Amino acid sequence: MTVMGEKGMGSLEGVILAGGAGRRMGGVAKGLLPFAGAPLIRTISERMASRCKTVALVVATQRQAQELGGLGLPTRLDWLPGSGPLSALHIALLEAQEPLVWVSACDMPFVSPHAADWMAERLEASGANAIVPRVSGRLHPLQAIYRPECVLHSQSCLAQEERRMMALLEAVKPCVAEEEELRRAGIDTSFVTNINTPDDYARIAPH
Ligand SMILES: Nc1nc2c(ncn2[C@@H]2O[C@H](COP(=O)(O)OP(=O)(O)OP(=O)(O)O)[C@@H](O)[C@H]2O)c(=O)[nH]1
């Protein structure tokens, strides 16, 4: 099997969206929550780095850039500051250096290189411009892979003041990685699990 995202092949670039306000978590920077002995973003970035030439953060404000600066990752600012994940994805696509951009939210501790390999290969075979997993009936556009060409659609959504990730998906028409086929490929679908609330954190974080 050709592993499209294998380090060295230079096809995958990792991007972690980390500019959310984390209101449901009480306004803390979710990416800095301790998880398995390290800040969540470090856990995520290390997993992504096993497949990506670079892993960068996208944040909404200079203050967040400073707050997360200690992690030592290259950091970009949103296209339209604080306009949600679509504007963050837009700048990542606009500045992409590699043919595939692997996007993760900063609150997804089980991000999976195995899932990324599989989705990258499936995306290459499909001819689509993006691949998005669907687990428990829900699409997960913040744990997905996009071609930089999707920037035309993110640009057009933002120009129309459309900020929903689902609007982007409607325009991009991604290939969908269905739960069943992910499982058949031996992939643990917890890679789409995210942490929104203190209850989620208490349930998911290892004790
Ligand atoms: N760069 C950037 N990232 C964002 C923005 N809004 C949300 N995100 C990121 O997108 C992912 C999903 O965000 P949500 O959990 O839906 O929103 P949140 O603001 O983090 O949390 P809530 O305020 O509780 O909704 C997280 O990784 C966020 O950090 C934004 O405006 N800019």
Separation in Å, CA 100 to CA 97, 104, 138 = 9, 13, 23
Does the annotation flag 182 for ligand binding?
no
Alpha carbon nearest to ligand 1 atom 15, residue = 196
Query: How far apart, in whole angstroms, are the C-alpha atoms of residue 149 and residue 94?
Result: 9
Q: With contact defined as beta carbons under 8 Å apart, do 12 and 120 qualify?
A: yes
**If one looks up domain 12-204 in CATH, what number appears?**
3.90.550.10
Alpha carbon nearest to ligand 1 atom 3, residue = 19
pLDDT digits (tens, 9 = 90+) for 136-190: 999 999 999 999 999 999 999 999 999 999 999 999 999 999 999 999 999 999 9
Taking the centre of ligand 1 as the mean of its atom positions, its distance from the CA of residue 2, in whole angstroms, is 33
Contacts of 96 (CB under 8 A, 6+ apart): 13, 148, 151
Burial of 65 (0-12, 13-18, 19+ CB in 10 A): middle
Taking the centre of ligand 1 as the mean of its atom positions, its distance from the CA of residue 9, in whole angstroms, is 31
Q: What is the ipTM of this complex?
A: 0.98
Give 131's strand partners.
Answer: 145, 175
Does the annotation flag 199 for ligand binding?
no
Give 75's strand partners.
Answer: 57
Pocket lining for ligand 1, CB < 6 angstroms: 17-25, 30, 58-60, 78, 82-85, 88, 105-107, 142, 196
Domain boundaries, the chain: 12-204
Taking the centre of ligand 1 as the mean of its atom positions, its distance from the CA of residue 3, in whole angstroms, is 30
Taking the centre of ligand 1 as the mean of its atom positions, its distance from the CA of residue 21, in whole angstroms, is 6
Q: With contact defined as beta carbons under 8 Å apart, do 143 and 192 qualify?
A: yes
Which of 72, 10, 13 has its CA nearest to residue 39? Answer: 72
Taking the centre of ligand 1 as the mean of its atom positions, its distance from the CA of residue 7, in whole angstroms, is 28
Residue with tokens 């950091």: 75
Residue ranges, the chain, pLDDT below 50: 1-10
Alpha carbon nearest to ligand 1 atom 27, residue = 105
Alpha carbon nearest to ligand 1 atom 17, residue = 20
Alpha carbon nearest to ligand 1 atom 12, residue = 105
Query: How far apart, in whole angstroms, are the C-alpha atoms of residue 109 and residue 140?
Result: 14
